[in-house]
A and B are shown apart, each in its own frame.
Chain A
Amino acid sequence: MDPTSRPAVVIDYGTGYTKMGFAGNVEPCFISPTVVAVNESFLNQSRTSSKANRLAQHSAGVMADLDFFIGEEALTKSRSTNTYSLSYPIKHGQVDNWDAMERYWQQCIFNYLRCDPEDHYFLLTESPLTAPESREYTGEIMFETFNVPGLYIAVNSVLALAAGYTTSKCEMTGVVVDVGDGATHVVPVADGYVIGSSIKSIPISGKDVTLFIQQLMRERGENVPPEDSFEVARKVKETHCYTCSDIVKEFNKHDKEPAKYIKHWRGIKPKTGAPYSCDIGYERFLGPEVFFNPEIYSSDFTTPLPAVIDKCIQSAPIDTRRALYKNIVLSGGSTMFKDFGRRLQRDLKKIVDTRVLTSEARLGGGIKSQPVEVKCSQSSYPEICSLVWRFSTSIYA
């Protein structure tokens, strides 16, 4: 039996979450946090005591190199005991710790998907700025350790753009705004090719939103245990945050009707098990606002996301710009805030219109330019996946 008769395995590993599944399905089978919990107690012992080490391991009933967990299990394990330490293999969209990454893949394949890697083709993803060395390394691990019969490493923004391809419109030109947990990229794609020189990255990503929310809650003195505050902030971000159209108006709305807007968070302290609760107020809209007014979060980087997108398109070849404005695709977890696309579209439209007006004024008003159409669309996750899935089958079939 050859692998073409079986569905390909798709693993899309991001900084925050890994999405894995089989080609041909509408949704990934598992979405789990990209984190590995390793039992360190047996790993770093000197070589001379290797015999004793083995006996110790045997009596403890573990094998050190297999004693680790990934995803949600890793988080619960590290919370309940002290023997495991967490490591996040991916930082800012790039693989940082190859040992952890290899273990992560091992568990993904054998414990979660439970497939034999020799039987399936694999589709992995990478960020547009991945170095060729790291791609080579990925291939090495996949072929040498797991003996996969075939591998394709795709750029995730191209796949996101391709998500819209199968429906009525057949366009492979557009700007992909990929706001993930660890990295934010603005990638212009023309006819399926990435315009490498115009890729823009900004140092604000989903994780910064979480950190900002954590900071806001801490400064207000909410009653959250410090060891849990990052996780709480992440949950708050994922469940309660939304994008507002105007901060001042939103502040007024919150102040007038606090009962309607302020949410409550209930949790259990991980160490003592005592319940606690806290309020969630302004951070609901201030979190996503980081992308539109970065100066509220950091003083190093102050260009708002719409301006970055505009700069990116302006640096692309002139004949593609109109098409690029027309098809702006949002992908990644942090674009899923309510009304994020609408806000982005409005701000970008404003920038473009001002520029058109000034150029018209400069030229004396004689020439009327055709209005530029700006359109943002959400490339919602299931769609991307299905496309990723379908895409992978079409590559290999």
Chain B
Amino acid sequence: MILLQSHSRFLLQTLLNRVQNLEKAVELDYHWVEFDDVRYHILVSMKNPNALLLSVSLPIPPPEAVFMGGLPFGAIEAIKAAYGVAVQILDPPRDGFNLTLKLNLGKLPPDEEHRYALLVKIASVREVVLGAPLRVVLKHLSSRTVIPGIDGLLAIVHRSKESFFLDPQPDKVTVVFPMRFKDSVDIAFATSFLQEFVEARRTAGLNNAPSCLWSPTPPLELKEAPAEALSANAGFVSFVILPRHVEGKKLDRTVWNLSTFHAYVSYHVKCSEGFMHTRMRRRVESMIQALDRAKPGVEGRKKSPNSRSFKRLSLKEV
């Protein structure tokens, strides 16, 4: 697995399970948490087995991000556009959550293919909700306009109390990620990973990818950003998104990949650490083998099954 998938595997599995056994009423009550502090809660009661309540709580937004009624701007419209009649937004949401969706399992499309597509879409509710502002901006980019009323920098939450920044212009959007890591080893890994990332972009065959830059200091686009957003211990990554990157079907993928860029880097940092440990283990094993071979006289003392393995003490030696 190189890229993170946009749907939550467990949510999709639960939904499919539920849809396949619709006539069997079961009670469901699950809580779980995904990376970047997105929490889910799913509830089905015996009384009404066709209705499924899905609650989502989002990471706590930093002060600079624009939130309306607990959701990023554009989220409500995005939900309505993505899900249609099968899903209803409950207001107010359940306690402790930002959004509660009521899913009517009886109203799903009857044919297999469409139903599956819709369920996958519901399982990627995180992409729809958290990626909504980014989607709006990129939509405008594909028609080469700027959203009226927004000028300058736009902050979008992607982790708890952290955001990334967009600088929308009619012909390009610059996306800047301040990268922060907790562990010092992680910081070192992430820094070299990101430099390698920029380097890899320059190779032939990736000419059409968005251009990408890494710098240890805040880039010029961020000069209006609040000071606390500028403290990043693993530098800043910026991508320049052009209209050709958001044409048609590419839009969904671009939105997802950008909004989970931090999780993507952190996943690869962990994987590289694991890979290095594997290499280290192999090396230790080979060295131990070399040491074992170097021990003198092992062949001479071949133990016969009834020879004693301990040395008998005699009184003279004591």
The answer to whether B32 touches A110, judged by C-beta atoms less than 8 angstroms apart, is: no
Partner of B33, one of A6, A107, A146: A6
B277 within 8 A of A: yes
Contacting residues of chain B (277-297) with chain A, CB-CB under 8 angstroms: 277-278, 281
Partner of A26, one of B8, B29, B271: B29
Contacting residues of chain B (27-64) with chain A, CB-CB under 8 angstroms: 29-37, 60
Contacting residues of chain A (76-122) with chain B, CB-CB under 8 angstroms: 98-99, 102-103, 106-107, 110-120
Q: Tell me the complex Cα distance, A47–B29, Å.
A: 52
The answer to whether B31 touches A116, judged by C-beta atoms less than 8 angstroms apart, is: no
Task: Report the minimum CB–CB distance from B13 to chain A (whole Å).
Answer: 8
CB contact under 8 A between A103 and B274, given known A7-B31, A112-B9, A115-B33 = yes
Residues of A within 8 A of B5 (CB): 111
The answer to whether B31 touches A22, judged by C-beta atoms less than 8 angstroms apart, is: yes
The answer to whether A147 touches B186, judged by C-beta atoms less than 8 angstroms apart, is: yes
The answer to whether B277 touches A107, judged by C-beta atoms less than 8 angstroms apart, is: no
B263 within 8 A of A: yes
B275 within 8 A of A: yes
Q: Tell me the complex Cα distance, A63–B267, Å.
A: 14
Partner of B37, one of A1, A7, A30, A102: A1
Residues of B within 8 A of A111 (CB): 1, 5, 9
Task: Report the minimum CB–CB distance from A56 to chain B (whole Å).
Answer: 14
A141 within 8 A of B: yes
Residues of A within 8 A of B299 (CB): none
The answer to whether B1 touches A24, judged by C-beta atoms less than 8 angstroms apart, is: no
CB contact under 8 A between A99 and B281, given known A30-B10, A110-B267, A145-B273 = yes
B80 within 8 A of A: no
CB contact under 8 A between A114 and B271, given known A1-B160, A145-B277 = no
Task: Report the minimum CB–CB distance from A97 to chain B (whole Å).
Answer: 11
Q: Tell me the complex Cα distance, A388–B275, Å.
A: 31
Partner of B275, one of A65, A113, A116, A117: A65
Task: Report the minimum CB–CB distance from A257 to chain B (whole Å).
Answer: 31
Interface of B is mostly: helix
Contacting residues of chain A (106-154) with chain B, CB-CB under 8 angstroms: 106-107, 110-120, 141, 144-147
The answer to whether B281 touches A98, judged by C-beta atoms less than 8 angstroms apart, is: yes
The answer to whether B36 touches A106, judged by C-beta atoms less than 8 angstroms apart, is: no
Residues of B within 8 A of A278 (CB): none
Interface string of B162-202 (1 = CB under 8 A from A): 00000000000000000000110010000000000000000
A25 within 8 A of B: yes
Q: Tell me the complex Cα distance, A7–B5, Å.
A: 22
B315 within 8 A of A: no
A66 within 8 A of B: yes
The answer to whether A145 touches B34, judged by C-beta atoms less than 8 angstroms apart, is: no
Residues of B within 8 A of A119 (CB): 33, 35, 37
Question: Nearest residue in B to A110 (C-beta to C-beta)?
Answer: B267
Which one of A29, A30, A106, A114 has the highest number of Cβ atoms from chain B below 10 Å of its Cβ?
A: A114
Q: Tell me the complex Cα distance, A29–B42, Å.
A: 12
The answer to whether B30 touches A66, judged by C-beta atoms less than 8 angstroms apart, is: no
- Range class of the B interface residue count: 20 to 34
Q: How many residues of A contact B (CB 8 A)?
A: 35
Question: Nearest residue in B to A100 (C-beta to C-beta)?
Answer: B278
Q: Tell me the complex Cα distance, A66–B2, Å.
A: 7
Interface string of A19-50 (1 = CB under 8 A from B): 00110111001100000000000000000000
Partner of B32, one of A7, A116, A118: A7
Q: Tell me the complex Cα distance, A383–B37, Å.
A: 28
Q: Tell me the complex Cα distance, A21–B30, Å.
A: 10
The answer to whether B10 touches A113, judged by C-beta atoms less than 8 angstroms apart, is: yes
B266 within 8 A of A: yes
Task: Report the minimum CB–CB distance from A140 to chain B (whole Å).
Answer: 9
B107 within 8 A of A: no
Partner of B35, one of A25, A106, A112, A114: A114
B244 within 8 A of A: no
The answer to whether B270 touches A145, judged by C-beta atoms less than 8 angstroms apart, is: yes
Q: Tell me the complex Cα distance, A29–B270, Å.
A: 23
Task: Report the minimum CB–CB distance from A216 to chain B (whole Å).
Answer: 33
Q: Tell me the complex Cα distance, A103–B13, Å.
A: 22
The answer to whether A107 touches B186, judged by C-beta atoms less than 8 angstroms apart, is: no
Q: Tell me the complex Cα distance, A25–B1, Å.
A: 27
Q: Tell me the complex Cα distance, A170–B5, Å.
A: 44
CB contact under 8 A between A25 and B32, given known A65-B275, A106-B274, A147-B182 = yes
Question: Nearest residue in B to A73 (C-beta to C-beta)?
Answer: B1
The answer to whether B10 touches A24, judged by C-beta atoms less than 8 angstroms apart, is: no
Question: Nearest residue in B to A23 (C-beta to C-beta)?
Answer: B31
Residues of B within 8 A of A120 (CB): 33
Q: Tell me the complex Cα distance, A369–B275, Å.
A: 64
Interface string of B260-273 (1 = CB under 8 A from A): 00010011001101
CB contact under 8 A between A65 and B271, given known A102-B277, A102-B278 = yes
Closest 3 CB pairs of A and B: A116-B35, A65-B275, A114-B34
A-B contact pairs, 17 of them (CB 8 A): A6-B37, A21-B32, A25-B29, A25-B32, A65-B271, A65-B278, A98-B281, A99-B278, A99-B281, A102-B278, A106-B270, A106-B271, A111-B9, A113-B10, A116-B266, A117-B270, A120-B33
Q: What residues make up the interface of A, taking CB atoms closer than 8 Å to B?
A: 1, 6-7, 21-22, 24-26, 29-30, 63, 65-66, 98-99, 102-103, 106-107, 110-120, 141, 144-147
Question: With contacts A111-B9, A147-B186 known, what are 8 further pairs, Cβ within 8 A?
Answer: A29-B30, A63-B2, A98-B281, A99-B281, A114-B9, A116-B263, A119-B37, A147-B182
